[in-house]
Amino acid sequence: MAVDVGDAAPDFELRDQHGAPVRLSGFRGDRNVVLVFYPLAFSGVCTGELCTIRDELPSLGDPDDVQVLAVSVDSMFALRAWSDQERFDFPLLSDFWPHGGTARDYGVFDEEKGLALRGTFVIDTEGVVRWKVVNAIPDARDIGEYRKALAEL
């Protein structure tokens, strides 16, 4: 079942690239969240997208107001190696087990390929989805759209 604009964002707790638990509801009342699902670490389009987020993060808004959470089915060990290599300064969350469970909850899991589509959800401080886009696996997203969505909150 897909999550739509206006829906309460399904809560989850996943481990980041350092093994620390990160819970979506932990940001409620404090920060807007840009939740970015991507297929696989180390792949070309995913690296390009997340490096753009890393480089453009200050333009998305005040870091005290906006939290980026990036989610894939990779293990936290693969995410740690990728994060160290690319110097990502936001959490990379492992949706490894149950395999793709969080991506399924958001309606962005490709059952045939066993990985997430390129789904992005902007979630406000009350935990409500205010904007979303879902792209096919080979299609990169436009970070300018994130800026627009966050500016409207």
Residue 22: which H helix or E strand, with range?
strand 21-23
Q: Residue 135, SS3?
A: strand
Active site residues: 46
Angle (nearest 5°) at CA 97 between 95 and 98: 105
